[in-house]
Each structure stands twice: as C-alpha cells, then as structure tokens.
Structure 1
C-alpha cells in the first residue's frame, strides 16, 4: 500500500522595500496602498493558499547614516494591514511579524487575540528578535539587550503571551437565560506571570481564540535559534532552498521538536521562494536572467557586500573582482536596519571569492548568483514538479511564495501552477476548515481548548 503524498502548504508574501521587488516595472503598483495588499491576499485565497505573510521593519535602513532610497516609501504597521485584510478574506490565514524585544506581552497578546476574533481564527504571529541599538532607539528600551539575551527574552515573551491567551478557560463563558446572553465568570482572564524579563498580573480582556491559540511562526538558523523554534513554533521559515542542505535542516529541526516532546508533524518547515514562469524552459531562464540583472545593479551588489564586509566598498568596481580585503566585524556598522544573515563573515567572504574565481564572475554577478532566494524557474509544469519533488523528499512542508512584481505577480502562479499542483493531488481544491490551524493540519494545544458557549 503506497504512502499518501504530503500536502503542500503555501503562504504568500508581498514584496516590500528591497531589491527583490521590481519597483521600476511599468506594471508595478504601490507597496503600501491597501489595494496592493488586498489584491495579493484575494489572489492567494483564490489559489487556496494557507496564509498571507507580512514581514516588518521597525526602522528605515541606512547606509553610512543616510536612508536607503528604497525605504522612502515607508513601512506601514503590520497588524493594521492584517486586520483590514480580515474583512476582505474568508479562509486565508493572516500572519504578521512582531518583534519580541521591543513589545510587551499584554499588548501583543491582546492584538493577536483580537485579530483572531475578527478573522474567525486565522491569525499567526511570526516571532522575531532584535538586539541592535539602531532599531532600539525608536523605543523606550533602546538597545538594552545584549545579543545573548534576545532568545531569553523571546522565550519568556512567548510563555507570557501563551499564559494570557490561555487565561480564558473553556468554561469561562456561562449562559445567563434571564438576560438571554453569555456572561464571563468572575475570574475569567485572570493571569499572574513572573520571570526574569516580565512580572505581570491582571485580567486579560479577549476571550479564548477560535483556534485555541494563534499560530506561532519563527525562523531559526543558529543552534540556539533552532532549539527555540523547535520547542515553540508551529511553523519555521527555513533559509534553505536546495534539497541536500534543506533536507538536513528539515531532519535536524524535526528531531529537535521530538526532543522537546512534540510530534514531528506538528512543526511545519517553510522556505521562501520567488518564481519565474516561461512558455519553455529556455524562455523562463531568459526571463529570470533579465529580472535578476535588473534587481542586482552595481550599487545594490556593493551595498549587499558592504553589510557582510562592514566596510565602505564604494571605491570598488562592481564589474571587477570580489575585494581581497577581509571583513571588519569590529567597526561601527556601515549598514543599519537590515537583518544580518551570516553566521561567519570570514567564511562567507572566502566562499564568495571561491565562487567568483571558479565561475569567472564579477563582483555584481557573484552577488546575483549567491544572494538569490532559491527561485523556482521553468514552465508551469516544471515549477509544479519542483515544488512537489522538494516537499515529497522532505526538503520542506511547503513554500512561502512571492513575486518580484507587486501586486499582480502572484496571479500568474495561481493561474498556471496551482491547477497543476491540484491535479497532482498535493494541493487542496477547497479549504479543510475555518481556522488557520484547521488548514495547516495543526492540533489545538491541550491547554487551549476553545470555548464553546
């Protein structure tokens, strides 16, 4: 008897202010107008995607004290956008990135619990951390946290938020026949949480989530990050888009989840991916190379390397070789506000030099070759096969899909690739339930059985 094929999870993201977005394209729309968010979300729901995802930037990025040109359009508030999208969608999950370092448990728990009530159980919190003073200067606490303590605070934040979400029990709403309505019991929402980071007590104001608790998302690459994500998250954003290393990451994080007392299937692994569809494979690759060269200009390549090198590289020729000088991790950061993704600057710089020499690529070409997000390239049938093969071979449980063209780029994926995934039997033709947990196949936490008045 053959094993049933894994179902592909799909999330959609709207490209924000970065070089991946083709803001110069004649068909490109605004990255902050509500129409763009609505179009992307409605398209994702039409394609039976599991959720719509928004990243967040808490500060405008800077290079040597000057704001990036791409950031001048601004960065709208995540929860406001998601609450608005709850009114124009019915099944699509609504996932937002909110920082655990610069927010407080009560406010954050209340916001996501409210979004969950407004959407009928479709909210998700992507837990991220920060330790840099540049971002922190926008907040009362500034850069108060040492790097080593960011996960300590995040873990306690998650525990506190869950305590608040769980403060309403299954029987906290009782029928009042005389008044013809339900009323809360006297101790409903009572909480008392004490830790090294938070010391709070009081009454939580939002009843039990329709899905028990909002879904938790996280990204973990370092050993500490993997442990945190495996113990706490419902889904993890994977940085790996190629099978050998992606499968190893998949096995490692699932094993860590089991070591934390969880079932491996209760933790979903999801890398992000862009896509380029062509009428033939050759056409797709031609389109991809054109788009990539427009995205990675000489200036963009230098800025991306400057973050790694932490040096002013403006004197280098983008069409010349990779710099021979070493990175300077001890200098004041030249790039501020951009997430740092490298575990070792020196090893990464050496790898880039090796790739540049082996492939005979210029500095700009090397950055374009090595800094991409694992794009899916080919005909619609080839991309459907790539996704199916990757998931069935445990590279992931699905993908977070985005396009270089905002907001209409996702339409092509939904119109051409989604039907082929459905024909393969690996993507739903209709939603399984009404909540995000239902559609992701995630259990309701034992401590969070929803109220049933």
Structure 2
C-alpha cells in the first residue's frame, strides 16, 4: 500500500522566490490574493494553507530591505477571514513564542479552531535577535540559548490551557439555556522558569482539542523540540539523500518521547516550475531564476555574506577581491540568514573559485548558489518526483511555494494533482472535516489534571 502524499500551500509573502515583475503577479496584502491561493489549494484537496509571519521589516545597510516593502498583515486576522471562505482547507499560521504570551496565543488559536470547525494549525517559532525584539516590551531580553527552553514551556502552558475544558463541560436545555456541567472548567495554574499564571481559560475545548502543532527548526535543539511536541516539522532538505537523512533523524527521536513514527510528519518546502516538456520547464526555470535575482538583488545577497556595502560593484562584473568583514556588526538586521555561513571567508573563496572556473558574474553566481527550484519538469515528471521522494521516506509530502502570487498554484492543481490522484497516492475528496483528519492525526487525549 503506497504512502499517501500530504500537500500544503505556502503564501510566500516577501522573499526572494517571488517574481514581482511577472504580469500575473498580484498584491501580497490585499485579501483577494489570500482568497485566490487558499481556494485553489482547497479545490486541489490540499491539507492546509500556510501563512508565515514577520514581526519587523528587515533592514540592510540601514535601509528597509527591498523585498520587505510590502509589509505583512496580521496572521490571525487573515486566517480568521479565510475560515469564512473555505470549508475543508486547514489554516496554519506562524506565531512567535518569544514575543507573545501563552494565554493570548492559546485563546486566539482556540478561537480560530472554533471559527473554522477544527482546521487550525500553529507553527511554533522562536526569535532571539534584539532587533526584532525592539518592537516588543521585552526586546532582546532572551539569550539565544534559552529560546527553545521558553518555546517548550510556552507550548506546554498553551496545551494546559487548551486542555483545561472537558469536551462535555457545556450543557444546554430549553428551560435553562447554556450552563457549565463542570464548575472547574477552564481553571489553570502554571509556574515555571518563564511563566507564572493562574486563572480560568475562557474558550471551551475546540473541535480538534488542540490546534495541529507545526515546527520549522533544523538545529539539533529544533529537531528535538519537534520530536517531543510537534505534529509536523518543516524541512529545507528536499533531495532524496538529504531528505532521507533528515527524515530518519527526526523520526528516530520519537521513541524517546513515547511516540510512533506516524505521529510526526516531515514536510519540506518546495518550489516548482512546470512546462509542456522537461526541456520547456528547464527554460522556464532559467527565466524565473533571472527574474528572481535582479542585479540589485544579487548585490544585496552578496552583501549578506561579505558584510560590507557593495553597492559600487557591478552585478555583471567579478566578485570583490576584498574579503568579507567577520565582525559582529552585521550589515543586515532582522534576517534569520544574517550569518548564513560559519566561515564567511572560506565560503567567499569557494565562490571565487567557482566564478572563475565557470566564468560567472556576481549575478550569475548568486543565481546559482541561491537556486531554490525543487521540482522542474512536465507535470508527469514532477508528479513522479514527488511520489518517489515520499515513497522512499525522504518526506511525507511538501509545502509548495509558488513563485507567482496569487495564481501560481493553478497549473500545479490542474495538472500534477490529477496525476497523483490517478496513482492512488493523493486524495480525491476530503475524508473528514478537520485538519487532523487530513493529516491522519488523532485528537489528543485530555489529561486528567488537578489545579492547585
């Protein structure tokens, strides 16, 4: 029996995969764009729609980074609105555990799960940089090494709040209206290193019990956090060998926490370029990469490694002869990839050698080293590639990131999905109403707890 493939759609927002110059490109902030992508994903029977979140506009060289000028609307606001225009599609959002509080986040996700009839998912992320923290009361207070400790305690606290209501706590009759069967419903008390809270949670147990928990960390601490707490983990390892290595690693950690292998799904992010033939798709992919990396964008990427102002350099010229600045004063602020490489000088020398050997300009080199096209080919080729990676335990499915928003998923939905359905590895109809149904996850048990 072949494994069933899980697919999700990522609204790309602001990043270097987006082709802004394409005539089909639309707004990244108007609601119609979110509706278009979400409804296409639902038409194709995807598991969920995923919305990332940025808590501050990034800067480079003291100026707002050019890919961020559109900004980011609030995650909960968008997902709650999408709940009204979709019926089965899961609604997943990134919410930071460093700059929020458990009660507030638990209340928002429990509300979203009710509004959507059980389709909410929470991508739990951390942040340690003081630059982002300047937007918040506790800006910069948390050491990098403590971020997963807080995240673990944050999630455990939120779960206690989700579980504080018995499923049958509410009753109703015609004479007396709605009343509580359990007078202690919602009561909670939690004390640890980061949180000391007590009270009564004011949202009854939601259709899924708790939202589906997603996690995106790739470090050893991030993988351990996912193995202990998450229902699915995102991954950047989309090739067969690297994917199998990551898959085996995170799945192998589950037994330590009394969990089975199918209780954590591995979902790498993936881009795609489709064509009538493989050759046609390769040519389209080349054009897309040139659109994604303009001359100005190439210089911005080079500056992130060199940690210097390189605006005077010609993107169609050679790489700088000067070495990267390895000081702690970074030219880029608010980017997870500020220090992409542990040894910038070694990487710069590798790039120089490659540029010389292949006669590449700055822009041509950046196109090569930042390439993010996972699947390139005809619909048949892409369907075969996706299926092989899933069946060979390199993943359980993929988070698809189109390069055109909001219509970039249409071709995949119309051509690749039917082929996967014909192979019997992807659903033709939703089997249940909740996101846990789509992902094959059980509703978590509500533990019996005493509130002191």
Query: Normalising by structure 1, what TM-score?
Result: 0.94
Conservation of the 8 A alpha-carbon contact between 2:18 and 2:404: yes
Q: Deviations over 1:180-209 (max 9, x none)?
A: 545352110001000111110100011112
Equivalent of residue 342 in structure 2, options 337, 341, 344 = 344
After alignment, is 255-264 or 47-56 more displaced? 255-264
> Where does residue 387 of structure 1 map in the other structure?
386
SS in 1 for 2:40: helix
1:95–1:126: 8 Å Cα contact kept in structure 2?
yes
CA distance in structure 2 between the aligned counterparts of 1:140 and 1:150, rounded to whole angstroms: 16
Structure 1 segment 278-357 matched on structure 2, within 5 A: 278-323=275-320, 325-340=322-337, 342=340, 344-346=342-344, 348-349=347-348, 351-353=350-352, 355-357=354-356
- 1:12 matched to 2:9: yes
Shift of 1:446: 2.4
Change (3 A) 1:353 1:239: farther
Q: CA deviation at 1:337?
A: 2.0
Pairing partner for 2:200 from 198, 203, 214: 203
Aligned match of 1:135: 132
Number of aligned residues: 446
C-alpha distance in 2 between matches for 1:109 and 1:273 = 30
Range with greater deviation from structure 2 (312-321 or 416-425): 312-321
In the superposition, relative to structure 1, how do residues 249 and 352 fare at CA in structure 2: closer, same or farther (>3 Å)? Answer: farther
Taking a change above 3 Å as real, the CA distance of residues 153 and 10 of structure 1, as seen in their structure-2 partners, is same
Matched residues in 1 for 2:16 and 2:94: separation?
Answer: 20
- Sort the Cα spacing of 1:296 and 1:167 in 2 relative to 1 into closer, same or farther, 3 A: same
Task: Write the mapping of 1:107-186 to structure 2, written as runs, cut at 5 A.
Answer: 107-176=104-173, 178-186=175-183
Relative to structure 2, which stretch is displaced further, 169-178 or 86-95? 169-178
Offset at residue 32 of structure 1 (A): 0.6
> How far, CA to CA, are the matches of 2:351 and 2:442 in structure 1?
43
Match of 1:26 in 2: 23
Quote how far apart the aligned CAs of 1:426 are: 0.7
* Whole-angstrom distance in 1 between the partners of 2:192 and 2:321: 48
Name the SS for the 1:446 alignment partner. coil
SS where residue 418 of structure 1 aligns? helix
Counterpart position of 2:58: 61
Match of 1:240?
A: 237
**Partner secondary structure for residue 69 of structure 2:** helix
Please say if residues 309 and 345 of structure 1, whose CA atoms lie closer than 8 Å, have aligned partners that are also in contact. no
SS where residue 446 of structure 2 aligns?
helix
Q: How does 1:420-435 map to 2 (within 5 A)?
A: 420-435=419-434
**Higher mean C-alpha displacement, 302-311 vs 201-210:** 302-311
**Partners of 1:91 and 1:260 in 2: CA distance:** 31
Larger CA deviation: 43-52 vs 353-362: 353-362
Counterparts of 1:321 and 1:284, CA distance in 2: 29
Residues 228 and 370 from structure 1, CA distance in 2 versus in 1: closer, same or farther, beyond 3 angstroms?
Answer: same
Distance 1:307 1:67 in 2: 14
More displaced 10-residue stretch of structure 1: 146-155 or 46-55: 146-155
Matched with 1:419 is: 418
Show CA shifts across 1:377-420 (max 9, x none): 10011110010011111111000112111111111110111100
- 1:198-249 per-position Cα deviation (integer Å, ceiling 9, x unaligned): 1101000111120121011111211111111211111111011111111101
The separation in 2 between residues aligned to 1:324 and 1:444, in whole angstroms, is 58
CA distance 1:238–1:35, shift in 2 (3 Å): same
Q: Distance in 1 between matches of 2:181 and 2:69?
A: 47
Is 1:45–1:89's contact at 8 Å kept on the other side of the alignment? Answer: yes
Structure 2: unaligned runs, 5 residues or longer: none
Give yes or no for contact 2:120–2:211 (8 Å, CA) kept in 1. Answer: yes
Taking a change above 3 Å as real, the CA distance of residues 375 and 314 of structure 1, as seen in their structure-2 partners, is: same
Q: Given the alignment, which residue of 191, 213, 238 partners 2:210? A: 213
**Rounded Cα–Cα distance in structure 2 between residues aligned with 1:326 and 1:223:** 31
Q: Distance in 1 between matches of 2:148 and 2:311?
A: 35
Q: Distance in 2 between matches of 1:235 and 1:358?
A: 41
Deviation at residue 325 of structure 1 after TM alignment:
4.6
Q: CA deviation at 1:301?
A: 1.6
> What's the offset of the Cα at 1:128?
0.9
RMSD between superposed Cα atoms in Å: 1.9
Report deviation, 1:49.
0.1
Corresponding residue for residue 438 of structure 1: 437
